[in-house]
Structure 1
């Protein structure tokens, strides 16, 4: 930002007065733009483009545990046996959690 060195300088008192006035005006400007809006009500007003999905149900098919998989006792993710790091107390742990 360019500075005009030929401009008259203000005293400390004038600068503090200007600063206070500027801060007060900024505070009033910020408060005037605030709107109290409930997030739930705002979310209900949104509509998805394309189709009405309100009556759709999500169906998930759960597969049984495979012979080459295990569930990590730390992160609870299903991992391939190649990711098995160790077994402690009958619990399997993956290489990411050890």
Structure 2
């Protein structure tokens, strides 16, 4: 069967008449969706691990760079001298960045 794609198409609304007449009318007192407020209250009561850290204080001791360490000029991580791939004009690059 050949189909003429240039011919105007009829959609379902035109074939069936007025779609609004075919819809079932609900009484105004009923709602189509039921909202369960208990789910929202239940979700608020969940305690996520590590969720509230506002009362915690972080104490970290920062050490200066050691003699056997360098800071990579590409990723800016402090690395051990064994991870040094190359040094160029005072810039040091680690093995991970040099690939």
Q: TM-score range by the shorter chain?
A: 0.3 to 0.5
Query: Which has the higher Rg, Structure 1 or Structure 2?
Result: 2
TM-score normalized by the length of structure 1: 0.46
* TM norm structure 2: 0.46
Higher normalized helix content (fraction of residues): 1
